[in-house]
Amino acid sequence: MPELIPEPRYARFARDAGTCVLDDPLLDVGPGAEGTARWLRREVGAATGWELPAPAAGESYGERAVIRLTLRPEPATSAGAESYELHVTQRRVLLEGADPAGLFYAAQTLRQLLGPEACRRAPTAPGRGWRLPVGGVQDGPRFGWRGMMLDVARHFMPKDGVLRYIDLLAAHKLNVLHLHLTDDQGWRVEIKRHPRLTEVGAWRPRSRWGHRASPLWNQTPHGGFYTQDDVREIVAYAAERHVRVVPEIDLPGHSQAAIAAYPELGNTDVVDTAALEVWDDWGINENVLAPTETVLRFYEGVFEELLELFPADVSPFVHVGGDECPKGQWRASAVAQERIRELGVDGEDGLQSWFIRHFDGWLAERGRRLVGWDEILEGGLAPGAAVSSWRGYAGGIAAAEAGHDVVMCPEQQVYLDHRQAGGAEEPMPIGYVRSLEDVYRFEPVPPKLSAEAAAHVLGAQANVWTEVMENQARVDYQVFPRLAAFAEVVWSRLPEPAERDYAGFEARMDAHYRRLDALGVDYRPPGGPLPWQRRPGVLGRPIEGEPPNV
């Protein structure tokens, strides 16, 4: 059986059926399959040296090998959206998709079947014969939301790195990239009507090196941002690979970078906001947005530009954060207290809910859906809002039972900044040990959910917070190989966690490590970190024991 990841729903390749030899095959492209054809010519063509020409009009295939791409919704509808079939005979390869996304995933499976060398950017053995096992695959995803959140606010990832991660998500049949674009430590997207958000807010003078308990500092100024054309490119690049990009603009907490750029956004009657800089430390920051109409109008302007950059057909959801908002400044602020009285809300917690409900309605009027961290449940939500359940399963359970859609991303299970092993050599160890096997046994749908509520679980995402990930190599180390296990969890229809065949998954990972090598991924090896992947003497915050199932 070929070593495919994620594991397909059905695959059969008979040992005695022979192989399909592909020497510069033709590419027969049916209507609606042009996007996948472009990807095959560009990516697989680069690795194999194939030109993949189209057959001439009326040309008989003869003895020449052919890859045929077709959309055929009728037979594939039983498997649902994004499903596909792949059939290999002695000289023919047929890829059928229920929709363009399904056809694209069929092409990803084809690349895996060709072997790790098909993941390279140029042929390593020009003129070699490429072989496929004869057989077939029928496949489709378990969940419609299969995502990864990438925090580019704490440590900026340049545009090319984001494009690279889109390719890596697509290679694992993941279809959502949640970009955490703003936080106390940086504002990463150009807003033309508020230029100081990036002129000032995108840069900090230094960074804490390690966890916030570490006494060490990196004194090199850090920053960067995406221009609006950068964002358009990222969104278009993702759409070609059937990846939706969910932008996050954090409010009302996690906002010091914005306040440093525009001091009037903060609680000026209790804090000298003009003296604030972009924060250079990690943790929960006390400087939050003021609950004023001026602040609402400012952020409405931000979202107006954001919606133009993230079209609704690609990015129907907009994330507003809504988490970890300290209330001390509001308690001390006469302006905030008067606002509480005017609105008739339930104290400072009611102010936070007021912020979220305002943008919930504002986005809904423009055809978008708000999604936020599970704190947004406090105070009630409009019917269309969705919840990212991060503090455990409880928020997601409450939201789903109340009829809200949910994305499961509990920190105890799928926060990939958490350490991968308990050894002293893990670099800047954060949180609980979440090994490859632990992630493989993650279950997005809690058993206590009713069937009706379980239908509100859109899927899951793995979250990648980058406080202690200073560059792409560190992100790779934390994300891989665990993202491969996560991808199988959200794509494949696996047994209950305790019954999953982890040994079989590990065996299939042997080939997948070679694919990651070919793709240039700096993953954590099964035997532990390599010498240059370690960070000796830099403090983290390890938590011992099993994580609570909350």
Are 455 and 403 in contact by the 8 Å Cβ rule? The answer is no
pLDDT tens for the chain, residues 1 to 550: 689 999 999 999 987 778 899 988 999 999 999 999 999 999 999 999 999 999 987 777 777 899 999 998 765 446 799 999 999 998 899 999 999 999 999 999 999 999 999 999 999 987 778 999 999 999 999 999 999 999 999 999 999 999 999 999 999 999 999 999 999 999 999 999 999 999 999 999 999 999 999 999 999 999 999 999 999 999 999 999 999 999 999 999 999 999 999 999 999 999 999 999 999 999 999 999 999 999 999 999 999 999 999 999 999 999 999 999 999 999 999 999 999 999 999 999 999 999 999 999 999 999 999 999 999 998 778 778 999 999 999 999 999 999 999 999 999 999 999 999 999 999 999 999 999 999 999 999 999 899 999 999 999 999 999 999 999 999 999 999 999 999 999 999 999 999 999 999 999 999 999 999 999 999 999 999 999 999 999 999 999 999 998 9
Instruction: Let me know if 6 is exposed, middle or buried by CB neighbors in 10 A (0-12, 13-18, 19+).
Output: buried
Residue for token pair 């939050």: 288
Could you give the 3-state DSSP secondary structure of residue 383? coil
- Report CA 114 to chain centroid distance, whole Å: 26
CA 93 – CA 231 distance, rounded (Å): 36
The number of C-alpha atoms within 13 Å of 275 and in the hemisphere containing its C-beta is 4
Active-site hit among 117, 167, 240, 324: 324
174's tokens? 């993941």
Residue for token pair 């950068």: 230
Tell whether the torsion through CA atoms of 292, 294, 296 and 299 is positive or negative: negative
Q: How far is CA 40 from CA 109, 135, 162, in A?
A: 12, 20, 21
H-helix or E-strand containing 145? Answer: strand 145-151
pLDDT, one tens digit per residue, over 465-524 is 999 999 999 999 999 999 999 999 999 999 999 999 999 999 999 999 999 999 999 999
Residue for token pair 């077939």: 136
Put simply, whether the predicted model's pTM sits higher than 0.95 gets the answer yes
Query: Is 324 part of the annotated catalytic residue set?
Result: yes
Burial 201-236 (b: 16+ CB within 10 A, else e): bbbbeebbbbbeebeeeeeeebbebbeeebbeebbe
Residue for token pair 């003021």: 290
Query: Is 281 part of the annotated catalytic residue set?
Result: no
CA 387 – CA 376 distance, rounded (Å): 8
CA 37 – CA 527 distance, rounded (Å): 39
Query: Is 28 part of the annotated catalytic residue set?
Result: no
Helix axes 472-479, 482-491, angle to 10 degrees: 50
Are 10 and 139 in contact by the 8 Å Cβ rule? The answer is yes
Q: How far is CA 342 from CA 292, 337, 350, in A?
A: 11, 9, 12
Active-site hit among 28, 96, 99, 183: 183
Pairing of strands 84-88, 92-97: antiparallel
End-to-end CA distance of the chain: 38
